[in-house]
Amino acid sequence: MARVIFISPDGDKTEIEAECGSVMELAVEHDIEGIDGSCGGVCSCATCHVKVGREWLARTGPATDTEKDILSFEDNVDERSRLCCQIELTDELDGLVVETIAR
């Protein structure tokens, strides 16, 4: 079981637990504002762009080349930027903190 803490642009926190799936699937299932997942999680849009908490970067890993290509069309991208459809939930990610992006 992994717990994910979503932080909205205005600082509101929403904590959700899940057993499996991607962070995007969890967000869409729970109507987290700022995460649309328009492509359904196939890494072909940027509607699930999040910023991973700095303390979690080593555990989630860096964005893949495909993610970087897609994110290159987005504003407000930095080393913490990820497409959360590409972050699979594991027990090691229990407590993961991600910041959603204002759209």
Q: What's the pTM value of the predicted model, to 2 decimals? A: 0.94
Compute the average pLDDT of residues 22-26.
97
Q: Read off the pLDDT band of 42 (50, 70, 90).
A: very high
Amino acid at 45: C
Sheet bearing 81-83, strands edge to edge: 13-18, 2-7, 96-100, 49-52, 81-83
Q: In the chain, what percentage of residues exceed pLDDT 90? A: 94
Name the pLDDT band for 62 (thresholds 50, 70, 90): very high
pLDDT value, residue 90 = 94
Res. 96: pLDDT tops 80: yes
Candidates 32, 38, 31, 23; CA nearest to 88 is 23
